[in-house]
Amino acid sequence: MQRRSQRLTGLACGLCLAMTTAVSAQAPAPDNTKTNARDRQTAQKTAGDQSNSPADLAITQKIRKAIVDDKDLSTYAHNIKIVTVDGKVTLKGPVNSAAEKTAVESKAAEVAGQANVTSQVSVTTGSAAKTKKHPKKGH
């Protein structure tokens, strides 16, 4: 009986190891090399460029709230970078669709004005497109 238990334990461990290896082989490692190289260029806005003026912080906060409050947007859209300097807003990051890109840009334009918004939002393909939207809150 003890020998059978040891065999089953060994078989279970082998299956876990095989499944772990198979899952890790399917998911390619994230590669942000191009994004990081782009963001090192001095003309590119990064989070470190965000102004601490009350007016710029208020603009950023209002845009973020409008985006996060839209539960139809994906996690990617909710995590878009918003950098505001002297009333000028830069949006950066991936979203799952052209509709999400338009929605994020529209929300920023409603707060800051169309002429004050620069979009560097990209529509992503692949695994990001499979990211689920936030679940609706139950009542």
pLDDT in tens, 81-112: 999 999 999 999 999 999 999 999 999 999 99
DSSP of 111-139 = HH-GGGEEEEEEE--GGGGGPPBPPPPP-
CA 42 to chain centre: 23
Range of the domain at 120: 45-130
Instruction: State the pLDDT at residue 129.
Output: 45
> Does 95 map to a domain?
yes
39 found inside a domain: no
Q: What is the CATH number of the domain that holds 52?
A: 3.30.1340
Q: Domain for residue 135, yes or no? A: no
Closest residue by Cα to residue 130 from 25, 27, 20, 24:
27
Per-residue pLDDT tens digits for 62-89: 999 999 999 999 999 999 999 999 999 9
Residue 119 lies in a domain: yes
Q: How confident is the model at residue 48 (pLDDT cuts 50, 70, 90)?
A: confident
Ranges assigned E (strand) in 20-85? 81-85
Alpha carbon distance 94, 129 (integer Å): 10
31 lies in some domain: no
Q: Six-digit token pair at 44?
A: 């590119």
How much is the pLDDT for 36?
Answer: 57
**Element holding 93 (H helix, E strand):** strand 88-95
Q: Is residue 80 part of a domain?
A: yes
Q: How far apart are CA 69 and CA 71, in angstroms?
A: 6
Lookup: tokens for 133: 């939207």
Q: Is residue 24 part of a domain?
A: no
C-beta separation of 122 from 93 below 8 A: yes
In-domain check, residue 110: yes
* Structural domains of the chain, count: 1
